[in-house]
Structure 1
Amino acid sequence: MTADLRPPRVGCVVPNGGDLLLREPIAAVVDAVGEGGATGLWFADHLVVAEHASSVHPYSPSADDQVDRIRTVTTPWFEALTCCAAAAAISGPLWVGTAVLVLPQRRPIEVAKMAATIDRLTDGRFVLGLGAGWLREEFDALGYDFASRTDRLESGVATLRDAWTGTLTLGAGQRVHLHPAPVTRIPVLLGGNAPAALRRAADLGDGWLGIAMSWGPYLDALDEQLETLARLTKDRPGTPFTRTVRIVQHDRTDRDELLGMVEAIATRDVDEIVVEPPWTTPAHTATVLQEITDQIGAR
């Protein structure tokens, strides 16, 4: 940790794909995150699991090494915004957010309404992480065009911003009203590690939500990404641009690797490190999170 950098916050992924939220009460999960010293809970987004899907996650080590939670059709996936609302109701000061919500496979006005509602009910403790998506079969099943997803992500962000003013003009010139408006500006973080994604985050977002992968030269890649973002946001007006990094491990049970990655990333100019510790029991998760926050002196 360099002297001029404060330690980043630590956020925690709650795996809403899998059996955790079936076997543990949401209150116990939220308590574990708070007891571990993390400042926020993050939920992923999959609406359906398509049979015989062949799409390869862009950050997977190989086509044969996909995440079982996405490939197994019987995996329960709890809806992300609903999880945020449920967790926020009992999370006290903790933030809740999506990492990331696939906006191009949802209607932006409906997302704007739900996000504003969560933001109001949490007194401004909601962060909306957005991405373009990668699972073609999921788009097909939901009836959304896959090829145009990045264009629709960008136009969707603009729709969200307009809707959150309380008044929105639709394509036919009809004005509609969406109240309540958010408490303040809802932070929109845009995900993705590619150069185009970094430009999109700098142009449209309040911050970036990147991924550091344990199976690659993640520090070299992160340094390059942060340098790019610094250049793209150098003369940016308005609210500060935040940098959030989510750690994705090949083996989520490797505690030592997780601690090492957190320590290394914390020396960079990032605002938050999002981790997914082992969720064997909430008590064990709280212990691992406490080790992480103690190790870097997270605020």
Structure 2
Amino acid sequence: MKFWTGTAFMNTAEMPAVAKMLDENGYHGVLVSDHLIFPRELKTRYPATESGVPYWQPDTEWPDAWVLIGAMAAVTENLHFGNNVYIAPARPILEVAKQVGTAGALSNGRVSIGLSAGWMREEFELLGQDFDNRGPRLNEMIQALRALWKGGWVSWKGEYYDIPEMMIEPHPPAHVPILCGGESAAALKRAARYCDGWVGTAYTLEEATVWIDRIKGYRREYGRENEPFEIILGLFDERTPDLYKRAEDIGITGVMCSPWADWDLQHSGDHSHLKGSAEQYRAPIEKFAEEIVSKCM
């Protein structure tokens, strides 16, 4: 089992030091969340709350994913980096290709990218990207990025992107796994058809089984059921080595865990318990590593 942690709601400046602690204690990786801005007038409804209002405050820090990953990669040796999730279609494709390629080179191939179509129209409009075609455009972006990361002279021509032959260096030194987030049918199909894996949110193990069965069904539909496939998600159940063994048995390859976080506080909008110095994370990181990580390798 691979153990991933997140960075949401932490102090940006403390994250590299926390990443070093995770690396020293045998965790597999860090997943970085993404938002560009919080508009004064948010007109787009947030789909994950009944009220349609995000559960975080406007001044919440959302550091640039790839700048942060570069900083964390510089102070670690084995830790891997990905996203939960990165709103790639809100950005120009060449910008995404350049940022991920650079992070891959700096980390010696320790990066993946977890993509999502996104939900906030305002972010797309501020960056000059079409919000209404973001889903099919993301499907093509995934294929185009693979071509752009090959190194040497590369190009892509499709319905949404027409990229003439060029070199875009540095390119990643190894294959960059592309995962997709989201729970809609379109998102699950995107993961099953085009991606190397799926990033969920948090569920009970029983609930996770339902989502995994859906993805497996789509993978069979696309003839990809025998290809390697990552499934990363969080679990609400009591954290024990046995839980993660059962999770592996149903196809979960990685679990998101935040040994320092209070889930109820986090989703109430109170993130003050996450705002201290890096040292506040050391004890829970070491305890979880000793009681769980070391016994599930």
TM-score normalized with structure 1 length: 0.80
2:46/2:52 contact within 8 Å kept: no
Distance 2:176 2:33 in 1: 18
2:179/2:195 contact within 8 Å kept: yes
* Corresponding residue for residue 97 of structure 2: 112
2:257 aligned to which of 256, 275, 290: 275
Deviates more, 1:169-178 or 1:269-278: 169-178
1:53 matched to 2:38: no
Which AA in structure 2 matches 1:47?
L
Which AA in structure 1 matches 2:278?
P
Which AA in structure 1 matches 2:282?
A
* Corresponding residue for residue 174 of structure 2: 184
Q: 1:38 Cα deviation (Å)?
A: 1.5
* Corresponding residue for residue 155 of structure 2: 168
Compared with structure 1, are the counterparts of its residues 122 and 173 closer, same or farther at alpha carbon in structure 2 (3 Å cutoff)? closer
Deviates more, 1:237-246 or 1:222-231: 237-246
Q: 1:239 Cα deviation (Å)?
A: 5.3
2:216/2:225 contact within 8 Å kept: no
Within a 5 Å distance, the mapping from 1:27-66 to structure 2 comes to 27-60=16-49, 62-63=50-51, 66=54
Per-residue Cα deviation, 1:249-287 (whole angstroms, up to 9, x for no partner): xxxxxxxx6754996465222111112333345344333
Q: 1:36 Cα deviation (Å)?
A: 4.3
Distance 1:224 1:104 in 2: 28
Stretches of structure 1 that go unaligned for 5 or more consecutive residues are 1-7, 248-256
Which AA in structure 2 matches 1:89?
A
SS at match of 1:270: coil
SS at match of 1:209: strand
Compared with structure 1, are the counterparts of its residues 155 and 180 closer, same or farther at alpha carbon in structure 2 (3 Å cutoff)? same
Distance 1:148 1:239 in 2: 29
Q: 1:136 Cα deviation (Å)?
A: 2.0
* Corresponding residue for residue 85 of structure 1: 70
1:141 aligned to which of 126, 130, 133: 126
1:224 matched to 2:224: no
* Corresponding residue for residue 4 of structure 1: none
Instruction: Using the aligned pairs only, state the percent identity.
Output: 26
1:262/1:273 contact within 8 Å kept: no
* Corresponding residue for residue 21 of structure 1: 12
1:236 matched to 2:263: no
**Residues matched between the structures, number:** 271
* Corresponding residue for residue 123 of structure 1: 108
* Corresponding residue for residue 295 of structure 1: 292
1:219/1:265 contact within 8 Å kept: no
TM-score normalized with structure 2 length: 0.80
Stretches of structure 2 that go unaligned for 5 or more consecutive residues are 262-273
2:34/2:87 contact within 8 Å kept: yes
2:241/2:296 contact within 8 Å kept: no
SS at match of 1:245: strand
Q: 1:172 Cα deviation (Å)?
A: 6.2
Distance 2:244 2:149 in 1: 34
Distance 1:82 1:263 in 2: 36
1:198 aligned to which of 188, 198, 208: 188
Deviates more, 1:270-279 or 1:184-193: 270-279
2:33/2:62 contact within 8 Å kept: no
1:109/1:159 contact within 8 Å kept: no
What value does the CA root-mean-square deviation take over the aligned residues?
2.7
Which AA in structure 2 matches 1:191?
G
Compared with structure 1, are the counterparts of its residues 261 and 284 closer, same or farther at alpha carbon in structure 2 (3 Å cutoff)? farther
Distance 1:220 1:258 in 2: 9
SS at match of 1:174: strand
